[in-house]
Structure 1
Amino acid sequence: MGSVGSTDTGDTSGTKRREQTGSLSRFVEWVKIDGDRLVVTFGIAAIIFAFVLALYFLDVIAFENQNSITRMASGMIAGSFSLVTLVVSVNQLILSQEFSPAGKHRDQYAGVMDFRRDIEERSSVSTAPIEPARIVAVIADAIVRRGDELADAVEGHRDEEFEREVLRYTDRLRSDTEWINEQIDRSSVEAFDALSVAVEYDDGWQISAARSLRNDAPALTDETSAAFEDLIGTLRLFSTTQEHFKTVYLQRELTRFSQLTIYCGIPAVLAAALIALLYGDAGGAAINVQLLPYVTSFLATVVFVPLALLASYILRTATVTRRTATTGPMLLEEPTKERPGDVRESEAD
């Protein structure tokens, strides 16, 4: 039947990274998403320092040509000023979004309160929590309950094959959604802690699968139809939550990045100036020649710290934005490759 073949609801996990269990994959995800941005920044800086020294010991570079070093230092100073100026411009753009007249602010506030009332209506809590992680956990619990209600509603359906398809779907829905509670720290008040877990939940697939089962069903009772609608509505609420936390997170993250760039930018300019001063004496370097490679490499690394900071923050923000770039169910990658969990066209079509 068309209803049977329309949706693959196998036991393959619906989360987006659950299958990445290798050490290399976990490390890459830690660098891109999970790792503290300052730790990643100083890790990149340490690699730069080791790389420069390695080139020196391999006789690829030298620190003896005064003119080359001073020209490099001048370029570093100009680059550091340009980077700081760029970050200040980004910060001004973010601040411009924060300024709003009373009417716009009231509309935004009303939207947030409507969102919180939706959470309260679809969950068992009387007041929606204020911690981002607890909000995600509350909605996840509501999704599990709606899935159980759908399973109860189709029990004893006259089309046994359709009943089995729905039960397979609700089993997978429960497994994927309970994974959220296993990963999340409900005491967290950071938007990113909630977002990092929410991003992994494949709500787009869940919505598509539920709609496909409902639309291709041979017959639906009022109870079953209402159960489908409640589940799809709760999944949409999860998508709204994900988007809300993404917006809050990106605003806070880019603001923090601007602050840290200013903090690191001033030492970077001073370090570049010190490199020029080390070689500014007509009689040669101002310090012991044996220490010169280490000191110059260290100062050059300090100059590159703002760039490393930029790389670490762009990695995370770009990855989060890329993984949540669509609104509603949509497959943007490997469109011709059939994968477990894809919603396929009905055989009747």
Structure 2
Amino acid sequence: MTDDSDQPSDRLRERAEESRWKLWLLLEADRRLVVAGFVAAVFAVVLASGLLYPPAEGSIRTSDSIDTVFQGFLTATITGVTLVLTLNQLVLSQELGAVGDQRERMRGAMEFREDVADLIDAPVSPARPAQLLRALVQVSADRAREVREAAARTGDDAATEAVDDLTASLVGNAETVSAGLDDARFGEFDVISSALNFNYSWKVFAGNRIRAEYGDVLDEEGREALDRLTETLELFGPAREHFKTLYFQWELINLSRSILTWAIPALLVSVFMIAFFNDATYSYTPFGVETLVPVVATAATVATLPFLVLIAYILRIATVTKHTLSIGPFILRETDEVSEIEWEG
């Protein structure tokens, strides 16, 4: 094997090959703010297109473009509501089941909580997701300090350097993530955001590599400390994935409610524009300013609201999924900071 002290960054924003502002828009930004931005962009584009193209008003009055466009919006909105019902069924299907299935779920949850309690040396594990993740992160930092002390006793410079590289990164990362998880509430993105910034997969890989290369150099206490560290990191993985799954269900429920809420005005506007709006005779001109194009732009924007809400929520869910596809010490991103493992064969 070869040793390489370079490590991927712990923060998702720095590990991902995307700009800081793009990741902020996709992940951190409040979804209501993102929807508002999309609404403003759609309205501005439609309005600017109509105002900058002088024949636009005449084209609207002399064609059936209003009926054609809003009939499409009406059909799409009804289809979108059907999609929402499908999403709700997907979420509900995870919760429905026979009593035996529910008992199995309960048993798995209790066993997991007992494993966490044993690892953090507590009578019971924390009940809140943020507190549980914070406990695992803090305990992993304590285990890393124990490994560092054991490596210092060996007198082996290579082993001490390798352990120092791991523990320095882990302890600093744990402190930052713990601060982010402090007072974080489930249902908000803060819990998942902080958890994504704990690069546990790299640390599991580095711990396994140290165990393979320097396990003979460490004393029994040091090997046990390293095993406890790896075990804690390995437990953080399924914990994060479990809470990520629960958060996705929470977000899909919020998405469904938002789309259903905005589908009502979108349907009403589309029906009004098709059944009652007569673009040929519309002539409201306050202060001598033609308002046909702004009215059409406003109606079109309202009609697209359910889809703008859908885009805003799916962008976050898809981005989180992309960056958490693997569980365990697998690195899917292209990076030069991971040394190759050599084997005989």
TM-score after normalising by structure 1: 0.89
Letter of the aligned partner of 2:297 in structure 1? S
For 2:38, which of 39, 44, 59 is the aligned residue?
A: 44
Deviation per CA, 1:256-310: give whole Å up to 9, x if none: 11111111111111111222245447x6237558222112111110111111011
Kept in 2, the 8 Å contact 1:154–1:166? The answer is yes
1:177 to 2:174 alignment:
yes
Report the Cα distance in structure 1 between the residues aligned to 2:15 and 2:224, rounded to whole angstroms.
Answer: 34
Contact map agreement 1:14 1:202 (CA 8 A) in 2: yes
Q: Per-residue displacement from partner, 1:87-126 (whole Å, max 9, x unpaired)?
A: 1112112212211111111111111111211221111443
Q: 1:187 to 1:91 in 2, by over 3 A?
A: closer
The alignment-based identity, stated in percent, is 30
User: Is the CA contact 1:13–1:176 (under 8 Å) kept in the aligned structure 2?
Assistant: no
Q: Is the 8 A contact 2:125 2:132 kept in 1?
A: yes
Q: Distance in 1 between matches of 2:62 and 2:235?
A: 63
1:1-349 paired onto structure 2 within 5 Å: 2=1, 5-6=2-3, 8-10=4-6, 13-18=9-14, 25-59=19-53, 61-62=56-57, 63-190=60-187, 192-217=189-214, 219=216, 220-280=218-278, 284-285=281-282, 287-288=284-285, 290-334=290-334, 337-339=335-337, 342-346=338-342
8 Å contact kept, 1:10–1:172 = no
Structure 2: 5+ residue runs without aligned partners? none
- Structure 1 residues 119 and 65, CA gap change in structure 2 (3 angstroms): farther
* In 2: Cα distance, 1:104 partner to 1:25 partner: 44
CA RMSD, Structure 1 to Structure 2 (Å)? 2.4
Question: What is the SS of the residue equivalent to 2:61?
Answer: coil
Structure 1 residues 173 and 346, CA gap change in structure 2 (3 angstroms): farther
Query: Residues 187 and 17 of structure 1: is their aligned pair in 2 closer, same or farther, counting only changes over 3 Å?
Result: closer
Paired with 1:96 and 1:286, the residues of 2 have a C-alpha distance of 52
Query: In 2 relative to 1, CA 58–191 (structure 1 residues): closer, same or farther, beyond 3 Å?
Result: closer
Identify unmatched segments of 5+ residues in structure 1: none
Q: Call closer, same or farther: CA 1:128–1:264 in 2, change over 3 Å.
A: same
Q: When the two structures are aligned, how many residues end up with a matched partner?
A: 338
Please give the alpha-carbon distance, in whole angstroms, between the structure 2 residues aligned to 1:9 and 1:230: 22
Alpha-carbon distance between aligned partners in 1 of 2:184 and 2:23, rounded to the nearest angstrom: 23
Q: Is the 8 A contact 1:147 1:170 kept in 2?
A: yes
Tell me which of the two structures has the higher relative contact order, counting C-alpha pairs closer than 8 angstroms and 6 or more residues apart.
1
SS, match of residue 198 in structure 1: helix
Structure 1 residues 322 and 11, CA gap change in structure 2 (3 angstroms): closer
How much has 1:158 moved relative to structure 2?
A: 4.2
1:157-191: CA deviations, max 9, x gaps?
A: 14222122112211111112211023233252436
Distance in 1 of aligned mates of 2:179 and 2:79: 45
Task: Tell me if structure 2 keeps the 8 A contact 1:278–1:285.
Answer: no
* CA spacing shift, 1:130–1:218, aligned 2, 3 Å: closer
C-alpha separation between the residues in 1 aligned to 2:182 and 2:155?
Answer: 43
Change in CA separation of 1:10 and 1:347 when aligned onto 2, cut-off 3 Å: farther
